[in-house]
Amino acid sequence: MNSVNPLLEILTSDRAHRYRAVVRGAVDRTADRLAAVTTPTTDTPAPVLRERVAAVDLDRPLGSAEAAVAEVDALVTAETVWFHDPGYLAHLNCPVAVPAVAAEAVLAAVNPSVDTWDQSRIGTEVERRVVSWVTETIGFTAGDGVFTSGGTQSNLHALLLARQAATTDGRRPTALDDLVVFATASSHFSVRKSAMLLGLPERAVVDVATDTAGRMLPDALAHAIAEARRAGRASMAVVATAGTTDRGCIDPLEPIADVCDLEDVWLHVDAAYGCGLLVSPTRRHLLDGIERARSVTADFHKSFFQPVSSSALLVRDPVDLRRASWHADYLNPEDADEPNQVDKSLQTTRRFDALKLWTTLRASGAPAIGRAFDAVLDVTEQVHDHVRRHPGLVLLAPTQLSTVLFRWQPDGVSDAEADALVAPLRATLLAEGRVLIAKTVVDGRPASKLTLLNPETTAEQVVASLDHVVATAERLHEAHARSTETTGATR
């Protein structure tokens, strides 16, 4: 190949052999890296990573696909974060199902866009069938939906539909400034961000009181709706969360649905995290009442073990999706006979992400996914018990899913000392690369957090990681104490 003036290799029938060779080379390199993983990431300092990337001259090509793939392997894959490693305990990132990864490879090569029928005829039918399966699993008797890029987009889409319903359903005209969205302080940040994007004022999102576990109180919701009505404001939507990001708790959906039905308010359930319960053989009851929602967010790239991105917005009544439809003569005219998915979506060009879940369901079935999610939750319960008994750790909150909120604070360590250690503890562990955890704020104080999403990680492995966290915290605390003593002695 001419490395002086290299050609752009477009994937065509004539280059099927090149596709096979280049992709096989990339797969082999990645598989070799995968087989050798012993920690969730490396200890390469951040400045070094930055310098390596900055040193690459994007205006001087390497001259071949093989060389570029080799560079990706050395530059990126060698320094990536591996979510399947038992030491990865930080965020809502899951290891992925092998059939879904294979489907992802097909998508990259075929490159379909499921916005119009003529661009993806079979893709449209497959997505609609997967959506139908999900809505049936939720309990919607005749629901509909569309795949999205993630929970943030799904929540935005749901609240857009709710806004349209609140302002166009034959009610008296309602100014956007008067609309109210009811959520809790534990709701995903995308609820407030969506309100901003939809032109609602900052005061539009009202935090409803919660119980000690962070779950919405239905009586408090009823009171908040009544208070808004007395103030001349219109209830646009209630956002109940089936799996809060920090606490992993589920709002009581049945009594919340009772309030929404009584008040005629749109109920949206953000089940981005907890959607795996839909196929759980032991915990499906935790989502009782979700079938009464008007819309639901489900992130399959969390508890269904799918590669990013794989999310969906599901609605109980297909008519609701039409509230955000927009038509263009060149794309999806109103009189079109074809089932154009762009009629339902906020996106135009859109990935055929439904194929990944389809392939996983066909390979393993929903019960296998449910058992895997149950395995994660079973281990989480054991880890909670361990933290509760540990003399150096404080368990901060219960969970119904797979988070563990804790703080290193043995006897003799003040609140101020424990709080000050949370951020440097996480940073030290991240720089080391052996165990990755997250940090957050619980009841106004900094807290450490584990998020489990690997069904093959055992309780023993998590306990071993916690032992390392404790040892690191002790070392940092002792170093700080010595530093304080030295500083005091030199004054």
Residues ≥6 apart with Cβ < 8 Å to 117:
124, 338, 339, 340, 341
Q: Quick one: pLDDT at residue 330?
A: 84
pLDDT for 92 equals: 96
Fold classified for 368-483 = Aspartate Aminotransferase, domain 1 (3.90.1150)
Q: Quick count: other Cβ atoms within 10 Å of Cβ 387? A: 21
Rounded to an integer, the average pLDDT of 334-352 is: 92
Provide the mean pLDDT of the chain.
95
pLDDT over 70 (residue 166): yes
Q: Tell me which of 325 and 39 has the higher pLDDT.
A: 39
CA distances from 465 to 125, 126, 329 (A): 45, 42, 58
pLDDT of residue 5 exceeding 90: no
CA distance 257 to 92: 27
Query: Residue 487 above 80 pLDDT?
Result: no
What share of the chain in percent tops pLDDT 70? 97
pLDDT reported for residue 3:
56
Indicate the SS3 state at residue 231: coil
Please state which architecture CATH assigns to domain 101-363.
3-Layer(aba) Sandwich (3.40)
Residue 170: its pLDDT value, please?
61
CA gap 269, 258 in Å, rounded = 14
Q: Which two tokens stand for residue 302?
A: 């969390």
CATH topology of domain 13-80: PLP-dependent transferase-like (1.20.1650)
Q: Does 17 score more than 90 pLDDT?
A: yes
Task: Kindly report, residue by residue over 269-325, the tens digit of the pLDDT.
Answer: 999 999 999 999 999 999 999 999 999 999 999 999 999 999 999 999 999 999 988
Query: Tokens 């907890």 correspond to what residue?
Result: 274
pLDDT for residue 22 is more than 80: yes
Q: Which residues of 51-84 are buried (b: 16+ CB within 10 A; e: fewer)?
A: eeeeeeeeeeeeeebeeebeeebeeebeeebbbb
Q: What is the bridge-based pairing of β-strands 179-183 and 144-148?
A: unpaired
SS3 407: strand
Element at 441 (helix H, strand E): strand 438-442
What's the rounded mean pLDDT across residues 363-373? 98
Name the band, by pLDDT with cuts 50, 70 and 90, for residue 102. Answer: very high
State how far the alpha carbon of 400 is from the alpha carbons of 46, 276, 374, 488, in Å: 35, 12, 11, 46
Is residue 139 over pLDDT 90?
Answer: yes
Asked if residue 490 has pLDDT above 70, the reply is no
| Burial of residue 420 (number of CB atoms within 10 Å: 0-12, 13-18, 19+) | middle
Residue-wise pLDDT tens digits, 389-432: 999 999 999 999 999 999 999 999 999 999 999 999 999 999 99
pLDDT given for residue 157 in this prediction? 98
SS3 content of the chain, % helix, strand, coil (to 5): 50, 15, 35
According to DSSP H, which parts of 231-322 are helical? 253-263, 300-303
What is the average per-residue pLDDT within 340-349?
A: 93
Q: Is the pLDDT of residue 110 over 70?
A: yes
* pLDDT reading at 211 higher than 70: yes
- What pLDDT, in 10s, does the model give residues 429-483? 999 999 999 999 999 999 999 999 999 999 999 999 999 999 999 999 999 888 7
Q: CA-CA-CA-CA torsion for 145, 148, 154, 156, nearest 10 degrees?
A: -120
Domain map (residue ranges) of the chain: 13-80, 101-363, 368-483
Contact criterion met (CB below 8 Å) for 283 and 242: no
The whole-number pLDDT of residue 172 equals: 58
Read off the tokens for 292.
């009464």
List the structure tokens of 102.
């294979």
